[in-house]
Amino acid sequence: MLRRPRRLRYTDAISSLVQETRLHAHDLVLPLFILPGSNQKESIKSMPGCERLSLDLLLKELTALHKKGLQAVALFPVIDKSLKDLTGSYGLREDGILPRALTLLKKELPELCLISDVALDPYTCHGHDGLLNNVGYVINDETVILLTEMAKLHAASGADIVAPSDMMDGRVLAIRRSLDSAHYNHTLILSYTAKYASSLYHPFREALSSHLSSGHKKTYQMNPANKREALVEASLDSEEGADMLMVKPAGFYLDVIAALRSATSLPLAAYQVSGEYAMMQAAAQNGWLPFESVLMESLLSIKRAGADIILTYGAKTALDLLNDP
Ligand code: PBG
């Protein structure tokens, strides 16, 4: 045999020399849930190891994680039911928990990259990402106007990156124009470009109490059967001025990540969502899979498929393992 591929795996050092993909702490973004009040901490049943934290505890936690190499966080507010309404009006309040969190974190940890979620669903009583018409259809253009206001509020509060996660048409261009007209031309837009109508968001909706009161999100989120459609969304987002694109979920959609990687030169993110994390944790708690190595393999695979940036609830575990393998 002239070719013996196993020679390249003969020792750990050789294997490492020829390793094609590597994970780095700087690839990771930790999504976090913010509670109102102070000294509040709640576990999330379906997401072991993840907690909802009030801002004071969140700051403590992030100070420690930032020292360990965490560079970026994606923030999601937990809104009390009594504050939710049909139009998600709490989402535009300057004294809301997300704007206050952005202000405090930008002041205390100025080098940490803050990614804010721009969408109505945490704030609406029906749990949809947009305004509903009289037959319960999510109306696009009126929703987009609210998103532009929300994006400006987040930028003013300290968000480095605004991330519209709603899948309304035309929102990237509208947000870019509104940010620029308010002189936030340095604020980046990370677009949830190909966000699928997935069953894997279930634990996240438990975490935020944002379960749908009726209907489904299939008139705005994408059909899991479609890949070409993701390319259409990507070219629109890119023309509309998105700085970064995202595929969500990640693990079931590696082909979509790979397709977008070859179709665009923009930085590409992937969101390993709550259901992906819950599956790994549940199997580990049963003693059926080793959590740490499965997590690292899943993250490496997402990167190998073409993602530059990975949002994952496993970021804390991954950081520890990357710092001390
Ligand atoms: C909604 C939003 C969702 C997630 C992030 N933003 C859920 C949804 O679309 O219902 C899910 C994230 C996860 O499951 O981890 N704007």
Number of domains in the chain: 1
Pocket of ligand 1 (CB under 6 A): 117, 119, 121, 129, 165-166, 201, 204-205, 217, 273-274
Is 153 part of a structural domain of the chain? yes
Atom 5 of ligand 1 has which residue's CA nearest to it? Answer: 165
Structure confidence by residue, pLDDT tens digits, 261-277: 999 999 999 999 999 99
Report which ligand 1 atom has the smallest distance to the Cα of 313. Answer: 15
Report which ligand 1 atom has the smallest distance to the Cα of 166. Answer: 16
Structure confidence by residue, pLDDT tens digits, 85-125: 999 999 999 999 999 999 999 999 999 999 999 999 999 99
CA dist 315 and 311 (Å) reads 8
Is 199 part of a structural domain of the chain? yes
Report which ligand 1 atom has the smallest distance to the Cα of 120. Answer: 16
Is 91 part of a structural domain of the chain? yes
Please state the pTM of the whole predicted model: 0.97
Give, in degrees to the nearest 5, the angle at Cα 131 between 312 and 165: 20
Specify whether the CB–CB gap between 72 and 163 falls below 8 A.
no
Over residues 162-185, mean pLDDT: 98
The DSSP secondary structure of 190-254, one letter per residue, reads EEEEEEB--GGGHHHHHHHT---SSS-STTTSBPTT-SHHHHHHHHHHHHTT-SEEEEES-GGGH
Atom 3 of ligand 1 has which residue's CA nearest to it? Answer: 201
Atom 7 of ligand 1 has which residue's CA nearest to it? Answer: 201
CATH number for the domain including 274?
3.20.20.70
Is 11 part of a structural domain of the chain? no
Is 9 part of a structural domain of the chain? no
Is 5 part of a structural domain of the chain? no
CA dist 222 and 127 (Å) reads 17
Structure confidence by residue, pLDDT tens digits, 202-225: 999 988 888 898 889 999 999 999
Domain of residue 267 covers: 23-323
Is 12 part of a structural domain of the chain? no
Looking at the annotation, which residues are catalytic?
195, 248
Crossing angle for the helix pair 315-323 and 291-305, to the nearest 10 degrees: 90
Is 13 part of a structural domain of the chain? no
